Amino acid sequence: MSILMVGSVAMDSVETPFGKAEAVLGGSAIYSSVSASYFTEVQLVAVVGTDFPEEHLALLADRQIDLGGLERAPGQTFRWAGRYGFDLSEPETLETRLNVFEQFRPKVPEPSRDAEFVFLANIDPELQLTVLRQMRHPRLVACDTMNFWIERKREGLERVLEKVDVVIINEAEARQLSGEPNLVRAARRILGAGPDTLVIKRGEYGALMFSNDSIFSAPGYPLESIFDPTGAGDAFAGGFLGYLANTRDLTDEGLRRAVIFGSVMASFTVEDFSLNRLRQLTYPEIEARYKEFKRLAHFEDI
C-alpha cells in the first residue's frame, strides 16, 4: 500500500551545541518520505527551485520514492535556518524563506489521487487543503503543523483539522493550538476540532497518543549522543504512517505499534545531521530498535 506525502523540501541551516550544518537537505516532506520509505511505497508532492542539487534527487530515487509530483519551479528552494540550545526540544527559528513555496499550487498526479494513506506534513495549511481536495477516497489522512502556521494561518488550519483522521504535533504546538497548558485537556480540545486520533510528540520524553477512549504513552529512547533533533518529528510521522500503510491495521493495537515504529525512526534521525543517519538504515536495525523499545517499557506485575 502506498502513501502520498505533501510538505516542504528544504535547504536547512542548523546549529546545535554539537556542530553546524549549512544548506543541507531537509524539509518536512523529505524526512517523512525517507522515513516512510522503509515501510511502504511513497509518492512525494512538493516543489524545489532550480538550485536544488541533483544528488538530493538521487538520494530520494535511491529510496524508491516516486517523484512524479515533485515540481521544479524557477527560483530558490525553500530555506529554513534554526538554532538549538542545550535544551534540544524546540529550535529558535532564525530564518524562514518560503521562496518557490509562495507560488506553489500542488498538483497530485492522476494515479496518485487514489492513494489510501495521505500525510499532510508541515506546510501552509492552504496547500494541505489543496492536496486533500484532489484525493478521491483516502482511508486515512494525517497532518502536522507548527507555530509558524498556527500564528499566521489559523483559519485554514482549523479547516484542515476538520478533515483529517490523525493529527501529529509536538507538545508546544498542542499547547499553542488548543490554548491549554495541560496536555490531557489540550488533547481533548484538539480531538473536539475533528480528528479521531492525536499524537503528541515529546522529544526525548517520548510520545502520547490520544483517542476518545484511550491514551497510550510511548517512552523516549535513551540515546547517549544526539547531534541534531531537526526532522525527528517528521521521521516519527513517516514511521508511524508508513507502518500503518504497510499493515493497514488501524486498530488501537496497530496504532500503538505504529507509535513505536515512529519513535524508532525519530531516534535514528537525531543521531546525525540532516538525513545522514536516516538514509542509510537497514530494516534489521529498525526491527532491533523496535524490540529494544518493547523491553524499555516492559515490567512484570507481581
Residues in contact with ligand AMP by the rule CB under 6 A: 8, 10, 12, 26-28, 31, 80, 96, 122-123, 146, 148, 230-234
Q: Which is nearer to ligand AMP, 10 or 260 (CB)?
A: 10
Q: Which is nearer to ligand AMP, 55 or 252 (CB)?
A: 55
What the block records as the C-alpha cell of 235 is 521521521
Q: Which is nearer to ligand AMP, 10 or 241 (CB)?
A: 10
Q: Which is nearer to ligand AMP, 5 or 232 (CB)?
A: 232
Which among 70, 157, 172, 162 is positioned nearest to 122, based on CA atoms?
Answer: 157
- Minimum gap (Å) between residue 145 Cβ and ligand AMP: 9
Q: What is the per-residue burial (b if ≥16 Cβ within 10 Å, else e) of 96-105?
A: beebbbeebe
- Minimum gap (Å) between residue 122 Cβ and ligand AMP: 4
Half-sphere exposure in the Cβ direction for 81 (13 Å, CA): 7
Residue with cell 534527487: 57
CA distances from 58 to 5, 13, 186, 274 (A): 18, 21, 41, 15
- Minimum gap (Å) between residue 30 Cβ and ligand AMP: 7
- Minimum gap (Å) between residue 37 Cβ and ligand AMP: 16
Q: In angstroms, how far is the first alpha carbon of the chain from the final one?
A: 42
Q: Which is nearer to ligand AMP, 16 or 178 (CB)?
A: 16
Q: Which is nearer to ligand AMP, 4 or 278 (CB)?
A: 278
- Minimum gap (Å) between residue 34 Cβ and ligand AMP: 12
Q: Which is nearer to ligand AMP, 169 or 244 (CB)?
A: 169
- Report how far residue 140's alpha carbon sits from residue 1's, in angstroms, rounded to the nearest whole number: 12
Give residue number: closest CB to ligand AMP.
Answer: 26
- Minimum gap (Å) between residue 85 Cβ and ligand AMP: 15
- Minimum gap (Å) between residue 295 Cβ and ligand AMP: 26
